[in-house]
A and B are shown apart, each in its own frame.
Chain A
Amino acid sequence: MSFVSRSGRGLPLLAATILGVLAGDAFAARISRLTPPSELFASGEESPVIARFLPGQRFDLQMTIEPDPGRTIVSFDFIVDDQSTLRPFWVDGELIHDPRATLTSTVTETGPAATCIAASGRTTGASGCKLVAGLPGNATVISRRAYSNSRAGVHTLRAIARQDDGSTISATGNFEIVGIDAESGQVAKNIVIFLGDGMGAAHRTAARIISRGYAQGKAKGLLAMDTFPNTGMVMTASLNSIVTDSAPGMQNYVTGNKANNNEEGVWPDDTRDAFDNPRYEYLSEYLHNLQGKSLGVVTTADVFDATPASMAIHTSARGNGTGIVDQFFDDRDQTGLTVLLGGGRKWFLPNPSDSTSPQPVNGSQRRKSNDYVLGDDIVNGWGVARGVLDPERDLIAEFRDAGFRYAADKTGLDAAFGAGTPDKLLGLFSYSNMNVAYDKIAGRRGDSTVVDAFGFPDQPMLDEMTDAALKVLSKNPNGFVALIEGSSIDKQAHLMDTDRWTLEVIELDRAIAVAKRFAERNPDTLVLVTADHECSGAAIIGAATVSAATLEADPDAGKGVVGTYEAARFPKYTMAEDGYPQTTHIDGKMLIGYGANADRYETWLPNRFPTRDTQQPFPPSQSPANPSVRNESSGYLITGQVPGDQATHTATDIPLSAYGRGAHHFNGVFDNTDVFFKIGQIAIGGAD
């Protein structure tokens, strides 16, 4: 709710609303955005409450004001439950703390007027401008950083701005502090979150069928994640869509708040800067400040990717790799970052030229254009590094100087433990996303064609990375928060490469087994297995009615070989000693359909090379460009239902399984943000 008071003393809401409607003026003064987001502001409804926080969890307050034409804003306030959040703090007549001076900022369009303000008087949002497009030229964005509140319950936030003619504009929203029941039994010291990116129920089932097998209708064994005692269903929507991407999909779990798609650790705003958005505190920051816990981030993706970054990074542009990896390092004293394992070496190498087309000779991807520099208000409020635009930075050297052991491959990872467990660990095993299990395992079995072509023949498997991470993290007597991500379940499901994503689920499950063993030895540990969203609308539609040889002889057979119902029988894969199927190219193989599919040529056969993924800086030339040209000359065209070249995420609920201390909290159907408050209770108040 937003309204203007011409008297400056405040009008009754009804009268103001009527005035606004009668005026019908698109340029009438108003607060067009109030953050934290609330339905009270957006629609006038008091519920659902959108923004929720644990007691003391920090978050920013912000308003976008569209003043009357020609007017400017001369003063403002953010008022929570009738109390200003900008009151100075005095001790014995001495000003100790003045939030207005240190924690606020005002952004207006100060870029070149010719470029930034259109003839219509509206902002253009062009490069070099401060504000996004479509706002009045005198729009003003005001922030109050790092507010927190410890009183449980729903609170009212009122934002007020006064124009230079004395009139005021105000708006009202709400937020909730979710209390923690103190002394509710034993707490979980260690929190391990397994995130199977894009892993819906079908992905789990497919991995079980391949790795355990079925006989007369019964599974012959369970996945490690199947053995977890409690399972719930998670609603995965983001702030701006029923279909989330991986940034809000992950960060919603570890902040308690909804983000827009492509954004992590922040709410949307009306400035162009991708690093100045209103922030809220991550679980890692909260528990590091409160309890001294460490943070571990382990992924098979590039470490700048949306899921790993959504444990610690605050930005509205998930593609800003240079700034993202810099923040991992610069703010390690805020997050407790102790372990960082994955791909993404391209962001850590110096690039003094700041040019990446083509990339410099060392293959660095660092650019000024996606790096970060923060304003005083954020630096003061959050105690974080200011940042520098420094493509020339040698981030591997800085990690090493800060006491991190650096491993570049599996051999290096093993060597890092040669003289005992290191205190801190950095592993960057490839230039971008790591190769997938299908290709890594082929390499270990003697066919290293694919991993050699990528240039990284010695990459660790996720269970090995998990084991290393848990060893390092468990040195902290205060405990840790760890994310372990099987990232290419999603990436290969996007590419509708069935043989590759099914093995990714198996790789993740083998890592889950490692953590389960850890939790058996360390019962003060909570292990969660979940997903950020479902990817591709994957469905196990049946199995081939023909042999592998027949499929190969007739790759254009299409639906003619799909055995449905009893014709599917029970596909039988043989598992090798390394824990992966000897081959997925079997007689009567399991077949997958895709409900969120783009056009693809389907042969039902394994693809020799992985399809190109958009983050790889230099995939081998043998990689098909996308599924719509892969097997074009041999396969059967399946027309897609979504635009573009890849299958998409879906809005389907996903399963979450829990093991260890507090696992019983995770039954039923709940929102992804609820998981944050459950963890908060279990880690701080106790698990009873």
Chain B
Amino acid sequence: MSALRRLLPGLLLAALPVLVHAHGEAVSIPSVAARDVPRALAVRGELGAPPRGVVELKFGEIFRTPVGPLGLEPSEKLATLDGKRVRMVGYVVPLYPPAEDRFLLSPLAVDIGHEDESLADNIPPSAVMVHLSEPAGATIPRIPGLVRLTGTLSVGSREDAASGRVSSVQLTLDAPVTRAVRRVSREAARSAETPRHRH
């Protein structure tokens, strides 16, 4: 067996991840710098009480604990908040394929994994599908750090038509919060087009 014949399949295999990687790069999601996160969203230091009429909902309160023998079950608190205004604090997880009107809010700072990988999926079941009250007009970007969001809660399993993702809790953002997300999304899209130069 000649050395070339032995090496060739290996060389071809070695070239493949580059192509895949290049393919993956074709659809990139813009990022926001920490200093550009709007004050209306950022969590800096101790968070005060939510505004009147708004209930604080923590991720740890979404399911009953301890976990039941046959799986997670929604908590009573969650059921009582259906249709009510709540405030949640978590990490923005942009959707894949990229979306302009919704994203996931997760208790962990994670990305959506690719279909074929993952020993465990890394989006926890308590993640909430967040809908803007109107589309941002740009891809929802990666936003670093914790954000606080206020909106109206909706409880019940719902499938997202574009991504096929099924969420058990949804949050429709209040108009002022939607405006803040729109602003940061458009700015992120603009700076992705015109990369900043170092001075």
Spell out A's residues near B (CB within 8 Å).
2, 20-21, 24-26, 28, 30, 32, 120, 122, 125, 127, 133-135, 319, 321, 345-346, 349, 353, 355-365, 369, 396, 406, 408-409, 412, 431-432, 452-453, 455-458, 612, 614-621, 625
In contact, A360 and B120 (Cβ under 8 angstroms)? no
In contact, A134 and B13 (Cβ under 8 angstroms)? yes
Query: Chain A residues with Cβ under 8 A from B9's Cβ?
Result: 32, 134-135
Query: Chain A residues with Cβ under 8 A from B67's Cβ?
Result: 345, 363, 431, 455-456
**Stretch from B28-36, B39-47, B80-88, B160-168 at the A interface:** B160-168
Contact (A456, B66) CB under 8 Å given A20-B2, A125-B16, A134-B9: yes
Contact of B124 among A134, A355, A396, A618 (CB under 8 A): A618
In contact, A2 and B2 (Cβ under 8 angstroms)? no
In contact, A361 and B74 (Cβ under 8 angstroms)? yes
Contact (A134, B166) CB under 8 Å given A319-B118, A358-B123, A363-B71: no
A315 CB to nearest chain B CB (Å)? 13
10 further A-B pairs in the complex, CB-CB below 8 A; given A319-B118, A362-B125, A409-B69: A20-B2, A24-B4, A358-B104, A359-B124, A360-B157, A412-B69, A456-B66, A614-B122, A615-B119, A617-B120
Contact of B1 among A30, A432, A452 (CB under 8 A): A30
**Stretch from B48-56, B106-114, B174-182 at the A interface:** B106-114
Asked if B79 lies at the interface with its beta carbon under 8 angstroms from chain A, I say: no
Contact (A26, B123) CB under 8 Å given A20-B1, A358-B167, A406-B69: no
In contact, B72 and A616 (Cβ under 8 angstroms)? no
In contact, A349 and B71 (Cβ under 8 angstroms)? yes
Asked if B25 lies at the interface with its beta carbon under 8 angstroms from chain A, I say: no
Asked if B193 lies at the interface with its beta carbon under 8 angstroms from chain A, I say: no
* Residue in chain B with minimal CB distance to A361: B168
Distance of A436 Cα from B94 Cα, bound (Å): 33
A-facing residues in B1-20 (Cβ within 8 Å): 1-2, 4-5, 8-10, 12-13, 16
* Residue in chain A with minimal CB distance to B108: A621
Scan B77-105; emit 1 where CB is below 8 A from any A CB, else 0: 00000000000000000000000000010
Contact of B66 among A120, A346, A358, A458 (CB under 8 A): A458
Spell out B's residues near A (CB within 8 Å).
1-2, 4-5, 8-10, 12-13, 16, 59-60, 63, 65-74, 104, 106-109, 112-113, 115-127, 129, 157, 159, 163-168
Query: Chain B residues with Cβ under 8 A from A24's Cβ?
Result: 2, 4
Query: Chain B residues with Cβ under 8 A from A396's Cβ?
Result: 70
Query: Chain A residues with Cβ under 8 A from B109's Cβ?
Result: 625
* Residue in chain B with minimal CB distance to A305: B119
Contact of A408 among B69, B119, B120, B124 (CB under 8 A): B69
Contact of A621 among B59, B70, B104 (CB under 8 A): B59
Distance of A674 Cα from B57 Cα, bound (Å): 57
What are 12 A-to-B residue pairs whose CB atoms are below 8 Å? A24-B2, A125-B16, A134-B16, A355-B159, A359-B124, A361-B73, A364-B71, A408-B68, A412-B69, A431-B67, A455-B66, A615-B120
In contact, B1 and A617 (Cβ under 8 angstroms)? no
In contact, A617 and B159 (Cβ under 8 angstroms)? no
Interface of A, secondary structure class, is: loop
In contact, A361 and B72 (Cβ under 8 angstroms)? yes
Query: Chain B residues with Cβ under 8 A from A30's Cβ?
Result: 1, 5
Distance of A620 Cα from B107 Cα, bound (Å): 8
* Residue in chain B with minimal CB distance to A320: B119
Contact (A360, B124) CB under 8 Å given A30-B5, A455-B63: no
Query: Chain B residues with Cβ under 8 A from A616's Cβ?
Result: 120
In contact, B8 and A26 (Cβ under 8 angstroms)? yes
Contact of B71 among A2, A135, A355, A362 (CB under 8 A): A362
Query: Chain B residues with Cβ under 8 A from A349's Cβ?
Result: 70-71
B83 CB to nearest chain A CB (Å)? 18
Query: Chain A residues with Cβ under 8 A from B120's Cβ?
Result: 321, 346, 365, 432, 614-617
In contact, A361 and B157 (Cβ under 8 angstroms)? yes
In contact, A358 and B63 (Cβ under 8 angstroms)? no
B141 CB to nearest chain A CB (Å)? 19
In contact, B125 and A359 (Cβ under 8 angstroms)? yes
A178 CB to nearest chain B CB (Å)? 30
The interface centre, meaning the residue of A24, A26, A412, A612 with most chain B CB atoms within 10 A of its CB, is A26
Query: Chain A residues with Cβ under 8 A from B124's Cβ?
Result: 358-359, 617-618
B125 CB to nearest chain A CB (Å)? 4
In contact, A358 and B13 (Cβ under 8 angstroms)? no
B153 CB to nearest chain A CB (Å)? 15
A260 CB to nearest chain B CB (Å)? 14
